[in-house]
Amino acid sequence: MLQIDGFRGIELKDKPVFDSYFTKFPPQISEYTFTNLYMWRNVYKFQWNIMQEHLVLIALRDPEKIMLFPPIGTQPDRAILGLMELADNLKTSIELIRCPENILDLIRSNSSLNAQIHINEDRDNWDYVYQQSDLANLPGKNYENERKKLNKFKNRNKWEYRPLNGDLIHKCINLQEQWCEWRGCDDESSLANENAGIQDVLNNWETLRFGGGIVLVEDQIVAFTLAEPLDTSTMVCHVEKANQEYVGAYQAINQLFAASLPTSFEFINREQDVGEINLRRAKENYHPILFVKKFKVRLI
């Protein structure tokens, strides 16, 4: 793996640094919470550094290039120029990924960058953003199918919803292990990678302290979600798992978690569909009010 002076891997002890930048410069993209980055650190081979007073995150999973996430700070376009110089010295290429429109606008307005870019829309990684009240209430004809499944679950089962806390983490671990047996995680690398990341953050909940909720039926967990604030008005859901033997379990965890949120969280970001057609259809069925569009920017 490419070694770059000053950059190092993400560790639990780095959480206060990341959190301080995310608080000062609230992100738009779902990737930018410490829990999410820690979950995927090994898959993407994340490295980070503070450069020119910006938090700079790179992924080194591709041996042919540096994959740069949007720098966090007052002038991310200037930080990008610095990374281009670094890549040139290392005789490697650089690509800016998961770039939201506000950062893209900065790049386009920077004359030193505008002539050196090639932009591609990254539809598979657009974030789906929903009105919290829509997910909590499932109003109108648009949500008729989801309401039917939810009502089946609630009417057929003696259920209970609980906010996630340290005493419930072991139940989430148990369901995640069962879910992986059902889905054959060991036979599919993407599911195996996801499973490893979920197990990692669950086992480190005491440090990460993310939120979420679980649904129980007669004290047995049937669904859980892992979530945390993205900014003061948006909650981002990183993980949602359910026992599919219970019809409507996914609808239940989705609706009950949304209904449990304080009114200050007006929006829920449910991340991307990564190009999976069934996942895209499921997310579209909940009628997002907007997408956080992202782009890949090849820096020439």
If you average pLDDT over residues 71-95, what whole number do you get?
A: 90
pLDDT at 236 over 80: yes
Is pLDDT above 80 for 1? no
Burial environment of residue 204 by CB neighbours within 10 A (0 to 12, 13 to 18, 19 or more): middle
The rounded percent of the chain whose pLDDT value lies above 70 is 100
What number is the average pLDDT over the span 273-300?
95
Q: What SS3 state is found at 297?
A: strand
Report pLDDT digits (tens) over 169-207.
999 999 999 999 999 999 999 999 999 999 999 999 999
Predicted local confidence at residue 112, as pLDDT: 83
Tokens 């090849």, residue?
298
How confident is the model over 116-159, as pLDDT tens digits? 789 999 999 999 999 999 999 999 999 999 999 999 999 999 99
Please give the Cα distance from 214 to 110 (Å, whole number): 47
Strands, sheet with 117-121, edge to edge from the N-terminal-most edge strand: 46-51, 54-59, 65-68, 93-100, 294-299, 117-121
Please state the pTM of the whole predicted model.
Answer: 0.95
Is pLDDT above 90 for 59? yes
User: What whole-number percentage of the chain has pLDDT above 90?
Assistant: 89
pLDDT at 22: 98
DSSP character for 209?
-
Q: What pLDDT, on a 0 to 100 scale, did the predictor assign at position 224? A: 98
Residue 86 has a pLDDT of 86
- What is the average per-residue pLDDT within 262-283? 96
111: pLDDT confidence band, cut at 50, 70 and 90?
confident
